[in-house]
Amino acid sequence: MADSPLPPGSTIGILGGGQLGRMLALAAAKLGLDVVILTPDEDSPASRVVKKTIVATYDDPKALKALSRLVDVVTYEFENVPAAAVEQLAALNVTVSPDPRALAVAQDRVDEKTFLNTAGAPTVAFAAIDSAEALAIALAEIGAPALLKTRRGGYDGKGQTWVENAADAPAAFARLDGAPAILEARAEFVRELSVIAARGRDGEIALFPLAENHHENGVLRRTSAPAPVGSATLEQAERIAAQVMAALDYVGVIGIELFQLTDGRLVVNEIAPRVHNTGHWTQDGCVTDQFEQHIRAVAGWPLGSTAATGHVEMTNLLGEEAADWPRLAADPEARLHLYGKREMVAGRKMGHVNRVRPLERG
Amino acid sequence: MADSPLPPGSTIGILGGGQLGRMLALAAAKLGLDVVILTPDEDSPASRVVKKTIVATYDDPKALKALSRLVDVVTYEFENVPAAAVEQLAALNVTVSPDPRALAVAQDRVDEKTFLNTAGAPTVAFAAIDSAEALAIALAEIGAPALLKTRRGGYDGKGQTWVENAADAPAAFARLDGAPAILEARAEFVRELSVIAARGRDGEIALFPLAENHHENGVLRRTSAPAPVGSATLEQAERIAAQVMAALDYVGVIGIELFQLTDGRLVVNEIAPRVHNTGHWTQDGCVTDQFEQHIRAVAGWPLGSTAATGHVEMTNLLGEEAADWPRLAADPEARLHLYGKREMVAGRKMGHVNRVRPLERG
């Protein structure tokens, strides 16, 4: 790919057809860029806002070849894109941004935490687990209760279980059906923060203001941003984001979930090499939102301003909550974003609402 | 059509594939609504942000029938949709919003001004012209110089000519190739304002703050909003918008171009039964923008808040000016909107830039 930015009229391929792909496509359109979606879903949220969708599995060689002919760069909207897909795209001389290394570390929780620690980003203590015996040994070292998760797959609280004590270890390991796992020490955190950051093709970095997040049953419920944080916290977050992105030669937006511990330190919970649910507030609270920022980065454009224009409380609409749209549409305080999903499955992310109030001047 | 609002997942048909259709489609997507475009253009700006486009002339019976099967309501993005098209849609029991009566009055400058005066909205003096003799008589009554325009067609300053004096009348009439015309008195205006207003299916009305506009060579160059206006001016604008929309049983967003005369009075220059270039500032300056507002209205949703969140200066990017995108993309003060047009034809509207600053608190 040339070093110069992709001009308007260029085409970005997106692997994945969910709401993140949809909002990325809408942001690309604002900048005069076209999008082609590759998704196995016949009727995806993203496919309805682009002219061209290739419906195929992500590692379908024919589909990837067809995609490569249509696009100037490829990005992805979720981290479980098969490695085979990005390898094939690389073989076709297609630039994939963020670099597939980010996918590799995000797809395996042990690799992820190992990478993070190597990059200088602190995490909770952890151990790779491949047997009930290994779990017992790790539990003795890390301490109970601790969280046992599959190394791969799982999101929104799926594929994880608490290990309450040593006696519970065999049963806990069995609950994951023998999948390779990671044991994570419990983080004694006072709040969950996230930093949404971007790195351009030239290495330029821009952080959005930090967000404070509230999960319920493993699913993001609410984000409040900009979060009130002191300079020490902000400096930690900036250092973590810079270290992680530099180590991955990252291009695009990244979501970094953080725990703030009782002593004020930040540890990384996980990273998502993509736009992130905890960054949806930027749509109504920042000069540039995370979707436009990601498109700017992968298209080689300069990053946009991440300055906050308001204080936002973002609430996810899960499952049947989206049926409340008539009330939300009538609420002058609510900025409604719906994803066009056909069925209100329980727990499914159907949309979100941003409520904006003026920034506190401090 | 049912009286209840169209639920997310419903489909809106848009006649026209230009930038206004494109931005309407993007706004619909945000609300979880799908869009089908009908346009004769094989590769239109709007078609690239929707899954389904019907490429046909606007009055193609087969195309209109196909459209009618796909959509829950039809709207349009330009006022020169042939009457035959909307008649066919009506015969197919498709609701067209705004009501085709708005199209009829907007397509003929004599009908438009006659309608406006009847509705109680003042205009400059005018006369229908169908011969050089009629022009001479009207000129004597209205006074020279006056503006001679074709009754139908023409936009952005095309199809019009000044008549400087009585001697010039035959030549002026000849310059319009004998087309049916209108002679308009010169408005001694101090500024050009516009009001972008919306009316919901239930008759609810919402006005955006007034905008002040600067045209060059008949083409909009720059909009500044909210315009500083006194309460008397605002009341005039509100009354005009309310009278015009009520008289048309209007549903959707309307653009009303106004001249403010030296004595402070507002007269209507023209109305556009659609979203309007002088409303693009709302994308970065209001809680709800004009595109979402139009979609809300035609979908039977409650109107959104039109409160200003900032002061915006909107500048159109015409023709080769769009080649300046790298500089604009790097300017943290510029919010860039590009339309995805393939060729930078001289004078063509390629995009716009909104520059936002905090509202003056008065």
Same domain, A248 and A143: no
B101 falls within a domain: no
**Distance between CA A125 and CA B42 in Å, rounded?**
58
Whether the CB of A6 is below 8 Å from some CB of chain B: the reply is no
| Among A49, A287, A296, beta carbon nearest to B50 | A49
Question: pLDDT, tens digit, for every residue of A122-131?
Answer: 999 999 999 9
Same domain, A132 and A39: no
Looking at residue A218, what is its pLDDT?
84
pLDDT(B362) > 80: no
Mean pLDDT of chain B: 95
Same domain, A256 and A335: yes
The encoded tokens of residue B25 equal 């489609």
Looking at residue A362, what is its pLDDT?
46
Write the ipTM: 0.95
Question: pLDDT, tens digit, for every residue of A292-308?
Answer: 999 999 999 999 999 99
Same domain, B286 and B345: yes
Question: pLDDT, tens digit, for every residue of A9-26?
Answer: 999 999 999 999 999 999
Cβ–Cβ gap A309/B305 under 8 Å: no
Q: How confident is the model at residue B114 (pLDDT cuts 50, 70, 90)?
A: very high
Output Rg (C-alpha) for chain A, integer angstroms.
Answer: 20
pLDDT(B174) > 80: yes
DSSP β-bridge partners for residue A163: A146
CA distance A318 to chain B (A): 15
DSSP helix, strand, coil percent of chain B (3-state; round to 5) = 35, 30, 40
B250 falls within a domain: yes
A2 falls within a domain: no
- Mode of pairing for the β-strands spanning B311-318 and B349-357: antiparallel
Looking at residue B321, what is its pLDDT?
97
Say which CATH number the domain at A326 has.
3.30.470.20
CA distance A186 to chain B (A): 38
Phi, psi of A137 (to 5 degrees): -65, -45
Same domain, A131 and A227: no
Whether the CB of B327 is below 8 Å from some CB of chain A: the reply is no
A16 falls within a domain: yes
Q: Examine the fold and report which residue of B185, B219, B234 is the final residue of a domain before the chain moves on.
A: B185
Q: Examine the fold and report which residue of A165, A185, A205 is the final residue of a domain before the chain moves on.
A: A185
Question: pLDDT, tens digit, for every residue of A245-289?
Answer: 999 999 999 999 999 999 999 999 999 999 999 999 999 999 999
A155-164, B230-239, B250-259: least confidently modelled range: A155-164
Same domain, B215 and B344: yes
Say which CATH number the domain at A78 has.
3.40.50.20
A195 falls within a domain: yes
pLDDT(B69) > 50: yes
pLDDT(A83) > 90: no
Question: pLDDT, tens digit, for every residue of A57-73?
Answer: 999 999 999 999 999 99
Apex A116 CA angle, A112 and A118, nearest 5: 120
**First CA to last CA distance, chain B:** 44
Same domain, B227 and B179: no
Whether the CB of A48 is below 8 Å from some CB of chain B: the reply is yes
Phi, psi of B10 (to 5 degrees): -70, 165
Domain, as residue range, for B51 = 11-96
Same domain, A162 and A30: no
pLDDT(A1) > 60: no
Looking at residue A2, what is its pLDDT?
46
Same domain, B214 and B291: yes
Residues of B in contact with A286 (CB under 8 A): none
- 337-356 in chain B: CB under 8 A from chain A: 337-342, 351, 356
Looking at residue B1, what is its pLDDT?
45
Same domain, B140 and B241: no
Q: How would you write B173-236 as a 3-class SS string? A: HHHCCCCCEEEEECCCEEEEEEEEEEECCCCCEEECCCEEEEEECCEEEEEEECCCCCHHHHHH
Say which CATH number the domain at A165 has.
3.30.1490.20
Same domain, B84 and B198: no
A5 falls within a domain: no
Q: Examine the fold and report which residue of A185, A211, A237 is the final residue of a domain before the chain moves on.
A: A185
- Mode of pairing for the β-strands spanning A52-55 and A34-39: parallel
A268 falls within a domain: yes
Residue A188, Cβ neighbours under 10 Å: how many?
10
Number of structural domains chain A divides into: 3
Looking at residue B155, what is its pLDDT?
65
Q: How confident is the model at residue A156 (pLDDT cuts 50, 70, 90)?
A: low
Same domain, A202 and A293: yes
A108 falls within a domain: no
| Among A50, A332, A338, beta carbon nearest to B49 | A50
